[in-house]
């Protein structure tokens, strides 16, 4: 897209887009200054309503946001402009904010508009409309208009990358692809990158990580990105689960395997967040780790009842090879904390069906040993429509992971408290770090949306982490 801010250009080829909050009387000015009134029964700005009309040879699209819209609702409404109304667009559009439009609504509106050109049709012979050359004129009476627009562009760019990483098929999105993507991103945004694999990973004690990837022809990649800012006062560590495809291993899945390309939603979230934090030059130090593996089945696949080592020095009894995400996260968390010693640690993972059973597809399950960190993550998520809710991590649940033969087992084998016991397993590898949080995003990272006929990536976590970090500055 070619963005123009507060230009005087006007053309019959423009599609004028004007968002409105719900109210009794809707009116706007035509290009010749004439006031146009729209009667209530026709359009009143109700949430997710659209009205197209022709005024003085211009096509105008009115977008309804509702009475008191949330961030995600506004984002989705504006995203539909390009995604669902592309047939109205010729050469350019004009996004026009009415007088008195709330400043808090500007960012999600802009982000949503810029997200509208994302589609899943990567491999179709005939793809949908490409808006790379579209002129987007933004009329915004705000002293920081240019800064607001640039920020929204960078947020949408990171979210689209997070969408794409989840949505690409697993024969393309492999551990190697994810590692190459991270290295390329590091070069673009002046980050330090390191990829650990093979004998180097074994030498560093990443045995649990390597065990999960043993059954795949695709070599596991332990991805590390470092972002450092000269004015940083805190250091945040992120770990994202990067299982690029999950068959369940020898405890093979019996249903839903078609969607298991999404099992790296945590990786997409932390990588997208790292991109936007670096792009916006947020004054924080950040270390991001993504253990990237494919959990496959062959003669070398790790076995149920196997005892494997880990970076933290704990032996692990493998009860279920489909509880693989917590194994790679265990090494990721331990390596991050021991090597980089961040002030706060957050991991994100599409970890358990139990989280979905508890919260459905509305929010992430949140676990933390730091009440302040937990509250900050909840508040940040509410602000951007990426909600989470806490569950307990009492020590009583840790006993469920006791093993007779090893230090800990990776699954308790019971149809209860699955998300909680998984969190307790992870906590055992945090070296008693005083400020750690785990977000189980199984129900929210890959979902049914208004923008595809199938489940697709949501970029859940990108906005949450950005908001969380900025709230602490």
**Of 118, 131, 58, which Cα lies nearest the Cα of 91?**
131
Q: CA–CA distance from 359 to each of 264, 268, 270, 364 (Å)?
A: 20, 21, 22, 7
- Using the CB atoms, write b or e for 72-87: b if 16+ within 10 Å: bbbbbbbbbbbbebbe
Catalytic (active site) residue 372 = no
CA–CA dist 35, 32 (Å, integer): 9
Burial status of residue 415 (CB atoms within 10 A of its CB: 0-12, 13-18, 19 or more): exposed
Residue 364, beta-bridge partner list: 388
Residues contacting residue 112 through CB under 8 Å, at least 6 positions apart: 74, 75, 76, 77, 78, 79, 81
**Of 31, 70, 36, which Cα lies nearest the Cα of 53?**
36
8 A C-beta contact, residue 64 and residue 48: yes
From 326, 387, 409, 424, the catalytic residue: 326
Cα dihedral: 349, 350, 354, 356 (round 10): 120
Catalytic (active site) residue 409 = no
**Of 154, 185, 156, which Cα lies nearest the Cα of 279?**
154
Sign of CA dihedral 132, 133, 134, 136: positive
8 A C-beta contact, residue 377 and residue 273: no
DSSP H helices, 191-324, are: 198-203, 207-212, 265-279
DSSP 8-state assignment for residue 441: -
**Of 77, 108, 113, which Cα lies nearest the Cα of 95?**
113
**Of 317, 202, 318, 308, which Cα lies nearest the Cα of 249?**
318
What residues are annotated to the active site?
Answer: 253, 326
């Amino acid at each position: 897209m070619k963005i123009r801010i507060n230009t005087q250009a006007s053309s019959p080829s423009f599609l004028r887009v004007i968002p409105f909050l719900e109210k009794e009387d809707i009116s706007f000015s035509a290009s010749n200054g004439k006031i146009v009134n729209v009667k209530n029964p026709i359009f009143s700005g109700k949430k997710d309503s659209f009205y197209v009309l022709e005024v003085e040879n211009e096509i105008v699209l009115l977008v309804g946001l509702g009475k008191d819209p949330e961030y995600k609702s506004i984002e989705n409404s504006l995203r539909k402009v390009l995604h669902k109304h592309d047939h109205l667009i010729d050469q350019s559009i004009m996004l026009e904010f009415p007088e008195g439009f709330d400043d808090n609504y500007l960012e999600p509106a802009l982000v949503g508009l810029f997200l509208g050109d994302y589609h899943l049709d990567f491999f179709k012979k005939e793809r949908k409309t490409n808006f790379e050359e579209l002129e987007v004129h933004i009329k915004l009476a705000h002293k920081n208009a240019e800064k607001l627009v640039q920020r929204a562009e960078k947020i949408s760019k990171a979210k689209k990358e997070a969408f794409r990483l989840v949505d690409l098929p697993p024969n393309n999105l492999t551990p190697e692809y994810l590692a190459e993507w991270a290295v390329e991103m590091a070069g673009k945004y002046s980050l330090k990158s390191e990829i650990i694999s093979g004998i180097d990973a074994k030498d560093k004690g990443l045995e649990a990580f390597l065990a999960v990837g043993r059954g795949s022809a695709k070599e596991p990649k332990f991805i590390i990105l470092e972002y450092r800012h000269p004015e940083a006062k805190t250091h945040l560590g992120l770990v994202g689960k990067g299982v690029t495809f999950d068959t369940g291993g020898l405890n093979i899945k019996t249903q839903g395997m078609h969607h298991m390309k999404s099992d790296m939603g945590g990786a997409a979230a932390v990588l997208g967040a790292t991109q936007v934090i670096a792009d916006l030059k947020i004054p924080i130090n950040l270390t991001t780790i993504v253990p990237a593996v494919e959990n496959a089945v062959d003669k070398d696949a790790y076995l149920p009842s196997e005892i494997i080592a880990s970076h933290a020095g704990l032996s692990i009894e493998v009860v279920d090879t489909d509880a693989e995400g917590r194994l790679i996260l265990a090494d990721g968390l331990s390596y991050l904390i021991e090597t980089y010693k961040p002030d706060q640690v957050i991991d994100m993972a599409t970890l358990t069906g139990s989280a979905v059973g508890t919260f459905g597809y509305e929010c992430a399950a949140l676990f933390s040993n730091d009440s302040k960190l937990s509250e900050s993550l909840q508040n940040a998520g509410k602000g951007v429509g990426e909600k989470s809710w806490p569950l307990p991590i009492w020590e009583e649940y840790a006993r469920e992971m006791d093993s007779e033969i090893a230090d800990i087992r990776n699954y308790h084998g019971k149809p209860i408290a699955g998300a909680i016991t998984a969190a307790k397993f992870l906590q055992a590898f945090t070296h008693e770090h005083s400020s750690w949080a785990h977000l189980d995003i199984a129900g929210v990272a890959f979902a049914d949306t208004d923008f595809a006929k199938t489940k697709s990536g949501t970029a859940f976590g990108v906005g949450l982490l950005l908001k969380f970090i900025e709230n602490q500055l």
